């Protein structure tokens, strides 16, 4: 019933618009085409100024309304520079937007059709074309250069003291593999993937694999460099770390990397945001199928002591793939054995 009413309302709106258009056409015939056009231009010019003022107020109001719903400051050291670049880009583009919109709507009002006023037309001006080509090109080149600088920083070789975590995506979840006490990840082979006990295809012939373990959460230590080795089991995914201002594609068969340094623990961020349920999120930023919306994981930033305690509680993937055989049950003594035991006792 509600759907029928919605369709009916839309139809009535179109009918009203059509009738207004027809009435305007009749009025223009009665008044004369020139007089009607001049009146229409005056109305449109006035509406242009109204739309300009309301539009700029709406832009400011939306920004003010949604400002507290933004992600806040970067939670990684590397993200600070990226935040600054975003801020500079926003200021430049906002300034250009405001100036061009004011000129656009003001010119529409000021130079509307008037008696005795003729528009000046010129098809070509080298000076103007050089100005609006060269200046934006220089500004954009500078912004791109700073962007490349930040990109090369987070994708460069991580510091030697960085902890290493492998992040593998598949439709539609993330798997994090951590090295054990040896600090090194074992070899993988996609031919060895087994959903029941070897989801990443670890090669058990490689001794480095015997202390590696897998988690559905990304645990990292606050203030410690973290290197992510990123991959995919099926299609292209994307590791999105919005709170840390980082992202990187997860490509099947082509490992990618990035590194960062967390600034605040999860507990600290809960206090800073005033949200007791706050949690860092690892999201998929690449459309990867019908379950894309659900492909996310929690990131836990904690102290070294908390991380060590969590690390000690994790079972290795090798032990889960090779469970120890159950001890054989003791067989009950036979009647003859019981008789011999009884005679011996006497």
- pLDDT tens per residue across span 213-247: 999 999 999 999 999 999 999 999 999 999 999 99
The enclosing H or E element of 335 equals: helix 335-345
- Mean pLDDT value across the chain: 85
**Other Cβ atoms within 10 Å of 76 Cβ, number:** 22
Q: Start-end ranges of CATH 1.10.287 in the chain?
A: 71-113+126-156
The model's confidence at residue 174, banded by pLDDT at 50, 70 and 90, is: very high
pLDDT at 178 over 80: yes
pLDDT at 26: 61
Query: Who wins on pLDDT, 29 or 321?
Result: 321
Give the mean pLDDT of 184-194.
89
pLDDT at 59: 87
3-state secondary structure of 112: coil
Angle at 48 between CA 45 and CA 52, to 5 degrees: 150
Neighbouring residues of 167: CB distance < 8 A, sequence distance ≥ 6:
174, 175, 176, 218, 228, 229, 230, 231, 239, 250, 282
Residue 77, classified by CB atoms within 10 Å of its CB into exposed (0-12), middle (13-18) or buried (19+), is middle
280: nearest Cα among 315, 312, 308, 240: 240
Most confident of 48-57, 61-70, 192-201, 278-287: 278-287
pLDDT at 334 over 50: yes
* Beta strand 256-260 pairing with 226-232: antiparallel
292: nearest Cα among 342, 331, 333, 236: 236
pLDDT at 343: 45
- Mean pLDDT check: name the lowest of 180-184, 188-192, 259-263, 322-326: 322-326
**Other Cβ atoms within 10 Å of 342 Cβ, number:** 9
162: nearest Cα among 82, 238, 81, 78: 78
pLDDT at 30 over 50: yes
For the structural domain made of 163-321, what CATH number should be given?
2.60.40.420
Q: What is the pLDDT of residues 118-164, one digit of tens each?
A: 777 778 888 889 998 999 999 999 999 999 999 999 999 999 989 99
Contact indicator for 168, 209 with CB cutoff of 8 Å: no
The model's confidence at residue 338, banded by pLDDT at 50, 70 and 90, is: low
pLDDT at 41: 77
- Mean pLDDT check: name the lowest of 113-122, 197-206, 323-332: 323-332
pLDDT at 337: 52
Q: What share of the chain is helix, strand, coil (3-state, %, to 5)?
A: 50, 20, 30
Q: Start-end ranges of CATH 2.60.40.420 in the chain?
A: 163-321
Give the mean pLDDT of 65-92.
87
Q: Which CATH architecture has domain 71-113+126-156?
A: Orthogonal Bundle (1.10)
The model's confidence at residue 332, banded by pLDDT at 50, 70 and 90, is: low
| pTM for the full predicted model | 0.74
pLDDT at 340 over 50: no
Q: What is the pLDDT of residues 254-283, one digit of tens each?
A: 999 999 999 999 999 999 888 899 999 999
């Amino acid at each position: 019933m509600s759907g029928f009413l919605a369709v009916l309302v839309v139809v009535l709106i179109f009918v009203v618009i059509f009738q207004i258009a027809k009435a305007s056409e009749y009025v223009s015939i009665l008044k004369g085409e020139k007089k009607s056009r001049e009146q229409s231009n005056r109305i449109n010019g006035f509406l242009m100024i109204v739309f300009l003022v309301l539009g700029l107020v709406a832009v400011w109001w939306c920004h003010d309304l949604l400002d507290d719903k933004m992600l806040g400051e970067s939670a990684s050291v590397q993200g600070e520079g990226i935040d600054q670049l975003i801020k500079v880009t926003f200021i430049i583009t906002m300034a250009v937007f405001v100036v061009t919109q004011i000129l656009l709507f003001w010119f529409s009002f000021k130079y509307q059709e008037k008696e005795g006023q003729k528009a000046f037309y010129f098809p070509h001006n080298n000076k103007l074309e050089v100005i609006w080509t060269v200046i934006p090109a220089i500004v954009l080149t500078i912004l791109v250069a700073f962007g490349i600088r930040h990109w090369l920083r987070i994708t460069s070789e991580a510091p030697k003291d960085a902890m290493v975590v492998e992040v593998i995506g598949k439709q539609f979840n993330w798997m994090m593999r951590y090295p054990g006490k040896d600090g090194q990840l074992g070899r993988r082979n996609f031919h060895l993937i087994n959903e029941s006990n070897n989801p990443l295809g670890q090669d058990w012939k490689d001794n480095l694999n015997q202390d590696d373990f897998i988690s559905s959460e990304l645990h990292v230590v606050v203030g410690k460099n973290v290197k992510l080795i990123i991959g995919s089991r099926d299609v292209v995914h994307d590791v999105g770390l919005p709170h840390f201002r980082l992202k990187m594609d997860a490509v099947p068969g082509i490992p990618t990397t990035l590194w960062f340094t967390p600034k605040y623990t999860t507990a600290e961020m809960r206090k800073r945001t005033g949200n007791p349920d706050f949690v860092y999120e690892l999201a998929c930023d690449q459309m990867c199928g019908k379950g894309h919306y659900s492909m996310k994981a929690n990131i836990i930033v904690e102290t070294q002591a908390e991380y060590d305690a969590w690390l000690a509680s994790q079972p290795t993937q090798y032990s889960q793939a090779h469970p120890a055989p159950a001890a054989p049950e003791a067989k009950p003594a036979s009647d003859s054995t019981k008789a011999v035991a009884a005679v011996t006792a006497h």
